[in-house]
């Protein structure tokens, strides 16, 4: 009934002997990876396999969701639904003991193999309801990471989510906490076109799960209602962004996002999605209206006492020597501090360097008009961090955005000129902050303060290059900023196009320097290959097709074609690329003209008969076109007014005639149509 894999203990005393759910062959693949590879090799595997389950289960970024929680070395943790161990290792490193409960034996084995060196982990395999009565009642933390939403399946009953908490609460020691990470069914991403994470359908949560299913997520007020019904009076909400799976930033009610911060929204690693609107712009609006907590993509709900930590930003998709996190804390007395921690041994030197950077930059800008946020290094036996003052003010980027929104270009350029003057002070001094972007400068009155300078180098850097990089990053962050005329900026900085390209190349090299051999998450998403579909393009194409995909008929009875006497054939298009016509043509019509579209195109006549007899395609005197012939019956039209003229006088006809034709038509971009027509030598 017991097994040990390395130092991890597995308890099968409540295991039914059958895994009741499985992701299929990928779990065998995960087990093989966990058995044979070290966790430090997982990043390479993720990039190589280009597979969502591999990324989801093995990415170290999954740990971010609980890494920030200040667990103590004497704390006992219960992890319900531990799965393949995405956070088990992190909990093991932080706490005295970790007790896992997991329904699947195979997933438990994956967890055990990947964390085989952890001597404080026990995994109970089986149904939670069977295992729960034997669990102790003195846990400091109970973690439900992506688990609470399955309460209906795991617990059952009329009130499964209330019942889930009622079962768990007695297992907390006094002062303990339950940590719930869960999607918000009203998250912005779902309105914008992401599929519901569990059911894979569009708008399932927004429509209140009208089609059923065994999973339920909740809005903030829905969760609060459940908590209160269970007699829980103390709880706190935190807001992981973009969502809880690969959280990069954590907000709280004490530190909500500012306008412009929520721009990392293309996160469809698992499946295709629609893009119904620009989520960044929508988030900007809800931030301004104070509604962010209702539309956050995910929640961390802490049942019990809250934490001093109010904000966390993770920068751990970098090379290990630069992987850090930034925390903003406010203690019970209201004191606010900003701290940067290394996320591993390799990054400690990088953090230590921040204090030296502060000292050097302070010396450089002494006597100038750019303040440097003060930094002190705090280093104890088991903890190292750089501590900064919390500086009030408005980001320079936000002030510049406001100018652009109001069309105040003079105001924008005034800010930019001040920026160049301030950062260019004492430019020959042998130290420079390469990351002098607008968002890293806070403005309060006449005081400009540089708050982040981790990329400081011991050499002078051309002020023009620093300013170009600031503008370059500024434009990349938001398409709305493209109204800015970059040529004016380049002229103001006296930067040639050759200079600009050199600076862009240096930026690419810098990004590679920061990330090392790792791919950014955006690059991994591209490799996995799920699509981002923009319905507006479909609508535009349909509307454009309605306008362009029309067949117009002209008849010449001896006086030429007359526009007023032409007509359109209804329902001529049998789909996007097929035209079928049956026209009644009187015997006095000398020429019949068919305009197959109102755009550049290529047309192939599949069939054309007059009174049941085929119209010859190889006789130039029968068919005249204003395009070029690829081969008999196939024409390229580099014109928006293509026409096919049938010389009726050359055909056998009677007083009343029936012309039947089927044509295949392909719309072509104008340049392509001209190129194709140019390749055809003979014009009919």
Long-range Cβ pairs for the range 283-287 (8 Å, 24+): 283/188, 283/257, 284/259, 284/260, 286/188, 287/256, 287/257, 287/258, 287/259, 287/261, 287/262
Helix (H) or strand (E) holding 109: helix 105-114
CB of 450 closer than 8 Å to CB of 371: yes
- Whether 512 and 545 map to the same domain: the answer is no
Section 388-404 average pLDDT = 94
Taking the C-alpha atoms of residue 305 and residue 234, their distance in angstroms, rounded to an integer, is 7
Q: Which residue bears the tokens 């652009």?
A: 404
Question: Could you report the per-residue pLDDT of 648-658, keeping only the tens digit for each?
Answer: 999 999 999 99
Query: How many structural domains does the chain have?
Result: 2
Section 285-305 average pLDDT = 97
Q: At what angle do helices 396-405 and 409-423 cross, to 10 degrees?
A: 160
- Whether 664 and 643 map to the same domain: the answer is yes
Output the 3-class SS for 365-400.
CCCCCCEECCEEEEECCCCEEEEECCCCCEEHHHHH
Chain Cα centroid distance, residue 359: 38
- Whether 625 and 559 map to the same domain: the answer is yes
Whether residue 575 lies inside any domain: the answer is yes
- The Cα-based distances of 637 to 322, 543, 617, 675, 679 in angstroms read 57, 22, 17, 11, 12
Whether residue 619 lies inside any domain: the answer is yes
Section 329-358 average pLDDT = 94
DSSP 8-class letter at 471: H
Taking the C-alpha atoms of residue 252 and residue 431, their distance in angstroms, rounded to an integer, is 36
Whether residue 572 lies inside any domain: the answer is yes
Taking the C-alpha atoms of residue 573 and residue 598, their distance in angstroms, rounded to an integer, is 13
Section 282-307 average pLDDT = 97
- Whether 547 and 631 map to the same domain: the answer is yes
Question: Could you report the per-residue pLDDT of 494-515, keeping only the tens digit for each?
Answer: 999 999 999 999 999 999 999 9
Helix (H) or strand (E) holding 658: strand 656-667
CB of 31 closer than 8 Å to CB of 244: no
Q: Which residues of 189-228 are buried (b: 16+ CB within 10 A; e: fewer)?
A: bbebbbbbbbeeeeebbeeebeeeeebbbbbbeebeebbe
Share of the chain above pLDDT 70, in %: 99
Query: What is the predicted pLDDT for the residue at 619?
Result: 65
CB of 515 closer than 8 Å to CB of 317: yes
Residue 48 makes CB contacts below 8 A (sequence gap 6+) with: none
Section 424-453 average pLDDT = 96
Report whether pLDDT(682) > 50.
no
Query: What is the predicted pLDDT for the residue at 537?
Result: 79
Taking the C-alpha atoms of residue 464 and residue 423, their distance in angstroms, rounded to an integer, is 10
Share of the chain above pLDDT 90, in %: 84
- Whether 630 and 501 map to the same domain: the answer is no
- The Cα-based distances of 567 to 386, 494, 576, 580, 590 in angstroms read 77, 60, 21, 16, 17
What pLDDT band is residue 683 in, cutting at 50, 70 and 90?
very low
- Whether 434 and 551 map to the same domain: the answer is no
Whether residue 107 lies inside any domain: the answer is no
Residue 483 makes CB contacts below 8 A (sequence gap 6+) with: 404
Helix (H) or strand (E) holding 660: strand 656-667
Report whether pLDDT(684) > 50.
no
Query: What is the predicted pLDDT for the residue at 148?
Result: 97
Neighbours of 344 (CB within 10 A): 13
- Whether 470 and 551 map to the same domain: the answer is no
Query: What is the predicted pLDDT for the residue at 320?
Result: 93
CB of 124 closer than 8 Å to CB of 14: yes
- Whether 547 and 657 map to the same domain: the answer is yes
Question: What range defines the domain where residue 455 resides?
Answer: 394-527
What pLDDT band is residue 681 in, cutting at 50, 70 and 90?
low
Choose the final residue of a domain: 527, 552, 579: 527
Taking the C-alpha atoms of residue 309 and residue 375, their distance in angstroms, rounded to an integer, is 19
Whether residue 635 lies inside any domain: the answer is yes
Question: Could you report the per-residue pLDDT of 316-341, keeping only the tens digit for each?
Answer: 989 999 999 999 999 888 889 999 99
Closest CA to 299 of 247, 240, 242: 240
CB of 394 closer than 8 Å to CB of 382: no
Across the chain, what does the average pLDDT equal?
Answer: 94
Report whether pLDDT(543) > 80.
no
CB of 177 closer than 8 Å to CB of 141: yes
Sheet containing strand 447-450, strands side by side:
371-372, 447-450, 441-444, 394-395
Residue 327 makes CB contacts below 8 A (sequence gap 6+) with: 68, 309, 311, 312, 338, 339, 340, 341
Q: Give alpha helix (H) positions in 289-347.
A: 292-295
Choose the final residue of a domain: 476, 495, 527: 527
Report whether pLDDT(70) > 90.
yes
At residue 554, φ and ψ (nearest 5 deg) are -120, 145
Report whether pLDDT(73) > 60.
yes
Report whether pLDDT(479) > 90.
no
Q: Which residue bears the tokens 């295949």?
A: 664
Choose the final residue of a domain: 527, 560, 576: 527
Section 248-265 average pLDDT = 95
- Whether 645 and 601 map to the same domain: the answer is yes
- Whether 585 and 671 map to the same domain: the answer is yes
Closest CA to 13 of 121, 122, 148: 122
Start-to-end C-alpha separation, the chain: 86
Whether residue 37 lies inside any domain: the answer is no
- Whether 674 and 590 map to the same domain: the answer is yes
Taking the C-alpha atoms of residue 167 and residue 226, their distance in angstroms, rounded to an integer, is 14
At residue 645, φ and ψ (nearest 5 deg) are -105, 125
pTM of the model: 0.82
Whether residue 409 lies inside any domain: the answer is yes
CB of 206 closer than 8 Å to CB of 190: yes
Q: Give alpha helix (H) positions in 6-104.
A: 25-36, 42-49, 52-58, 64-67, 88-94
- Whether 546 and 645 map to the same domain: the answer is yes
- The Cα-based distances of 468 to 92, 397, 404, 505, 532 in angstroms read 46, 14, 18, 12, 31
Whether residue 418 lies inside any domain: the answer is yes
Provide the token pair at 314: 């993770």
CB of 300 closer than 8 Å to CB of 250: yes
């Amino acid at each position: 009934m017991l097994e040990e894999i390395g130092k991890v203990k597995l308890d099968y005393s409540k295991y039914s002997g059958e895994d009741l759910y499985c992701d299929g062959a990928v779990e065998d693949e995960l087990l093989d990876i966990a058995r044979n590879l070290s966790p430090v090799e997982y990043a390479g595997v993720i990039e190589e396999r280009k597979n969502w389950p591999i990324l989801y289960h093995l990415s170290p970024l999954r740990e971010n969701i609980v890494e920030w929680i200040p667990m103590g070395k004497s704390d006992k943790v219960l992890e319900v639904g531990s799965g393949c161990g995405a956070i088990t290792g992190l909990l093991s490193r932080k706490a005295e003991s970790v007790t896992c409960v997991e329904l699947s034996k195979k997933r438990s084995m994956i967890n055990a193999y990947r964390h085989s060196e952890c001597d404080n982990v026990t995994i109970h395999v089986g149904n939670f309801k069977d295992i729960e009565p034997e669990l102790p009642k003195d846990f400091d933390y109970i973690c439900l990471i992506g688990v609470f939403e399955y309460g209906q399946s795991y617990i059952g009953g009329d009130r499964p989510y209330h019942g889930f908490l009622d079962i768990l609460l007695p297992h907390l020691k006094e002062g303990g906490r339950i940590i719930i990470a869960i999607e918000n069914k009203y998250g912005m991403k779902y309105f914008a076109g992401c599929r519901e994470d569990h059911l894979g359908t569009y708008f399932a949560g927004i429509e209140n799960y009208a089609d059923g299913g065994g999973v339920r997520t909740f809005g903030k007020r829905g969760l609060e209602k459940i908590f209160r019904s269970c007699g829980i009076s103390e709880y706190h909400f935190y807001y992981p962004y973009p969502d809880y799976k690969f959280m990069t930033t954590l907000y709280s009610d004490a530190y909500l996002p500012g306008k412009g911060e929520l721009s990392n929204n293309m996160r469809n690693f698992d499946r295709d999605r629609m893009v119904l609107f620009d989520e960044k712009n929508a988030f900007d609006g809800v931030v301004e209206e104070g509604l962010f907590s209702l539309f956050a993509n995910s929640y961390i709900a802490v049942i019990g006492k809250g934490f001093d930590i109010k904000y966390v930003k993770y920068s751990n998709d970098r090379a290990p020597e630069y992987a850090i996190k930034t925390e903003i804390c406010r203690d019970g007395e209201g004191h606010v501090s900003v701290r940067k921690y290394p996320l591993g041994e390799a990054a400690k030197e990088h953090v230590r360097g921040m204090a030296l950077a502060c000292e050097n930059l302070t010396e450089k800008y002494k006597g100038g008009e750019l303040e440097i946020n003060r930094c002190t290094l705090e280093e104890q036996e088991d903890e190292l961090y750089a501590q900064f003052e919390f500086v009030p003010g408005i980001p320079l980027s936000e002030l510049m955005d406001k100018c652009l929104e109001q069309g105040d270009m003079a105001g924008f350029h005034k800010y930019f000129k001040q920026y160049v003057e301030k950062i260019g002070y004492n430019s020959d001094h042998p130290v420079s902050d390469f990351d002098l972007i607008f968002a890293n400068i806070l403005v309060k009155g006449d005081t400009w303060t540089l708050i982040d300078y981790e990329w400081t180098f011991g050499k002078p850097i051309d002020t023009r290059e620093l300013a170009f990089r600031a503008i370059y990053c500024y434009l990349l962050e938001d398409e709305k900023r493209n109204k800015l005329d970059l040529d004016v900026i380049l002229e103001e900085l006296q930067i040639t196009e050759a200079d600009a390209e050199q600076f862009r190349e240096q930026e690419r090299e810098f990004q590679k320097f920061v990330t090392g051999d790792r791919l950014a998450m955006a690059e991994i998403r591209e490799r996995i290959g799920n699509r981002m579909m923009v319905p507006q393009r479909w609508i535009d194409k349909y509307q454009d097709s309605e306008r362009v995909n029309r067949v117009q008929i002209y008849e010449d009875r001896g006086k030429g074609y007359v526009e007023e006497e032409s007509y359109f054939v209804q329902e001529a298009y049998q789909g996007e690329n097929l035209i079928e016509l049956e026209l009644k043509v009187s015997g006095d019509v000398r020429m019949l003209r068919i305009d197959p579209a109102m755009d550049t195109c290529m047309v192939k006549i599949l069939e054309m008969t007059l009174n049941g007899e085929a119209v010859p395609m190889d006789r130039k005197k029968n068919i005249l076109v204003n395009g070029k012939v690829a081969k008999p019956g196939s024409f390229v039209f580099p014109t928006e007014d293509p026409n096919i003229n049938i010389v009726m006088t050359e055909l056998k006809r009677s007083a009343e005639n029936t012309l039947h034709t089927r044509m295949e038509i392909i719309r072509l971009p104008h340049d392509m149509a001209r190129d194709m027509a140019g390749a055809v030598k003979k014009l009919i």
